[in-house]
Amino acid sequence: MAQTTTTTETTVAHLALQPTKYRTSHVPNHDFVPPKDFKFTANMVEVPLNPLGSTEIPRATFGNYGKENYKYHEYLPYHTLTSEAPLTPYDHVDVAARADPDKKALFSVMGERKDMTPNIGTEVRGVQLSLLTDQQKDELALYVAERGLVVFRDQDFVETGPQWLRDYGSYFGRLHVHQWAVHPKDCPELTVVFRDNDTGNFFDNALKGSLNTVKWHSDMSFERNPPGTTFLSSLDGPECGGDTLYMNCMTAYDRLSPTMQRICENLQAVHSVARQARTASKTNINRREPIDTVHPVVRKHPVTGRKALWVNAEFTTEIVGLRKEESDALLTMLFDHMHKGLDFQTRVRWENGTVVVYDNRMVQHSVTMDYPIGDGTRRHLVRVTPQGEVPSI
Ligand SMILES: [Fe+2]
């Protein structure tokens, strides 16, 4: 076996020396009937599979992050080395369906509330998410679906520890366990974003050779049940930089001509994680087989009924039933439209204690990796990611 060093010195590079190979599989949408001549084209790559048994290891080395040195020691990143079966289908019932449309219970405890732009995002101060009642949480889910994202400042959200955060998130749906992302020890239902002097992170490999660091995407759109109401919390970050960009895909859909809306509403597309899994295998461990899934190009929110464009440049690889040139041209047009739409985008500047709640079904996002590593800078966030319904229109 390739693992030869102590846990604190173990790196994934060591583990990846003797990978098992396997091919990706695909997961058809339950109501997707492929045309006769349709073949998945993204499932022909091979990626290394975790070669070890069931255990956890720390992400690379972080000797300076002892309990006494670092307040958020409990959220340091770990890999799980267990190989797992594909996620099972999940019948999601959105908590927003129970919400008062006027959201009176939630608004009654909110302090200052300010829209970030007319089309997307609201920033809130003066309320603690941790203290919301179930009724207020239902209204929060609805509010987030309407605004795309809501930014909460000065939160104590992460102070009680990973297990509490996991339980809080599970109120909104079955929690997604990522196939290669790192997580707090003993808590694979949370995802940790961690980049510092020693480790860099997955994105450093993913971005090699790119002119910029912007990668618009919806989280895990390749899953059969992609995430819905999602919570991303800042633990620590650079003085300046590392902002997250968000885009309203409801507005992106609304802007299309009625003719193009009708065309898109009648199309489906393949979402694949094969390429990212191959890149991730250089630094992380793939615990599940990468999959391809077919989703509608436009999806409808289960509660608000708003339609959103549901294709993204990171995971959507082809439109089903079109010739390659046709598919490429249509996706290029849609991505170009969405990426240029600064008037339906916004930017979150993180502060310690900031929690962004976003509806992953209705928005896309991208990190901006504009801050240097190597000068003591550390960016550390934690995400709890409830799954949503199977996309439909
Ligand atoms: Fe993301």
The amino acid sitting at 195 is R
Q: Band the pLDDT of 14: cuts 50, 70, 90.
A: very low
82 neighbors 285 (Cβ within 8 angstroms): no
If you measure from the C-alpha of residue 16 to the centroid of ligand 1, how many angstroms do you get, rounded to a whole number? 24
The Å distance, Cα 360 to ligand 1 centre, comes to 9
Give the model's pLDDT for residue 66.
Answer: 67
Q: Which residues have a beta carbon within 5 Å of ligand 1, which is an ion? A: 219
Residue 3 within a domain: no
Residue-level pLDDT at 388 = 98
Q: Is 372 a member of any domain?
A: yes
Distance 28 CA to ligand 1 centre (A): 23
The whole-number average pLDDT for the span 359-365 is: 98
Instruction: Kindly give the distance from the C-alpha atom of residue 134 to the centroid of ligand 1, in angstroms, as a whole number.
Output: 26
Tens digit of each residue's pLDDT (9 = 90 or more) over 39-83 = 444 333 333 444 434 445 555 444 456 677 788 989 988 877 667
Distance CA 334, CA 328 (A): 10
Distance 215 CA to ligand 1 centre (A): 9
Q: How far is CA 71 from the centre of its chain?
A: 25
Give the residue numbers spanning the domain of 324: 12-384
Counted residue by residue, the chain has a size of: 393
Q: How far is the CA of 217 from the centre of ligand 1 (A)?
A: 6
CA gap 215, 164 in Å, rounded = 31
Query: Which tokens go with 264?
Result: 């898109």
**390, part of any domain:** no
The CATH number of residue 368's host domain is 3.60.130.10
Distance 316 CA to ligand 1 centre (A): 14
Task: Let me know: does 299 contact 307? Beta carbons within 8 Å.
Answer: yes
Q: Which residues fall within 8 angstroms of residue 63, CB to CB, at 6 or more apart?
A: 8
Residue 393 lies in a domain: no
Structurally, the chain folds into a number of domains equal to 1
Distance from Cα 111 to the centre of ligand 1, integer Å: 28
Average pLDDT, the chain: 83
pLDDT of residue 56: 53
Band (198; pLDDT cuts 50, 70, 90): low
Ligand 1 centroid – CA 76 distance (Å): 18
* Interval between CA 390 and ligand 1 midpoint (Å): 19
222 CA distance to ligand 1 centroid (A)? Answer: 13
Q: Is residue 2 part of a domain?
A: no
Distance 36 CA to ligand 1 centre (A): 34
Gap between the Cα atoms of 355 and 248, Å rounded: 18
In this structure, is residue 392 part of a structural domain?
Answer: no
User: What is the 351 CA–ligand 1 centroid distance (Å)?
Assistant: 18
| Domain presence at residue 177 | yes
* Ligand 1 centroid – CA 142 distance (Å): 21
Lookup: tokens for 130: 């941790």
Residue 4 lies in a domain: no
Q: What is the C-alpha to C-alpha distance for residues 120 and 364, in angstroms, rounded to an integer?
A: 11
Identify the pLDDT of residue 78: 81
CA of 115 to the centre of ligand 1 (A): 22
Q: Using one digit for the tens of pLDDT, what is the confidence trace for 274-318?
A: 888 877 776 667 778 888 999 999 999 999 999 999 999 999 999
Q: How remote is the CA of residue 232 from the centroid of ligand 1, in Å? A: 10
Nearest to 295 by CA among 228, 361, 215: 361
